[in-house]
Amino acid sequence: MILDPSRALPGRNTPLSFSGVHAVNGCSMLPPFPAEHAVIVLGLGCFWGAERLFWQLPGVYVTAVGYAGGITPNPTYEETCTGLTGHTEVVQVVYDPATLPLVELLRVFWEAHDPTQGMRQGNDIGSQYRSAIYTTDDAQLAEAERSREAYQRSLTRAGKGDITTEIAPLTAFYYAEEYHQQYLHKQPGGYCGLKGTGVSCPIG
């Protein structure tokens, strides 16, 4: 448990207000999504650069940034940054497995950040920047765990540390505020902290 529930901020019953329309491709960020598409939620540090990485992948239908893995319902960005919601910054990725197999999506995930850093990503420090994979079915969970084992072997051979990525079934995804959605499309010169280990992931 990242946070003692008794210390968690109360949050709110009402979701944060936002348009629900993806600023890059015009698709709805809200369900229902097209048939035969799958959903996975990924955390790899600050969600601005992470979302741009995923919306550019062929086979991704739509992305949205938000908060997951914690306790506080419908948290704000400011609340999440206190560490008292238990959430990490994440990207919800809706993708077509026929075009973009999960194993390939996971390879991109592992190679785009350093999953050995615990409660940080580079200079971004705090539980809201921890690495995480939140799955929406049993097959995704098993595939994610296999990919972690495969990447750990490569990292160990390269002299890197142990993966700290949290892998668990998704319990809730809370959409972030409108200004965070597709932030680097709206602010092309904005901050992007993505930086991998330089070690290739032997999957996909």
pLDDT for the residue numbered 204: 87
Q: What is the maximum span of the chain, computed from C-alpha positions, in angstroms?
A: 47
Domains of the chain: 34-182 (3.30.1060.10)
pLDDT for the residue numbered 175: 98
pLDDT for the residue numbered 100: 98
107's tokens: 């390879």
Give the catalytic positions in this structure: 46
pLDDT for the residue numbered 2: 86
Tokens 């938000």: give the residue: 66
Residue 140, H or E segment: helix 138-157
Residue type, position 193, single letter: G
pLDDT for the residue numbered 82: 97
Residue 121's SS3 state is strand
Cross-strand pairs, 43: 132
pLDDT for the residue numbered 180: 98
pLDDT for the residue numbered 41: 99
Residues 157 and 108: their CA atoms lie apart, in Å, by: 19
Crossing angle for the helix pair 102-111 and 138-157, nearest 10 degrees?
40
CA 75, distance to chain mean position in Å, is 16
DSSP conformational letter for 111: H
pLDDT in tens, the chain (204 residues): 789 999 999 999 999 999 999 999 999 999 999 999 999 999 999 999 999 999 999 999 999 999 999 999 999 999 999 999 999 999 999 999 999 999 999 999 999 999 999 999 999 999 999 999 999 999 999 999 999 999 999 999 999 999 999 999 999 999 999 999 999 999 999 999 999 999 999 998
CA 165, distance to chain mean position in Å, is 11
* pTM (whole model) above 0.75: yes
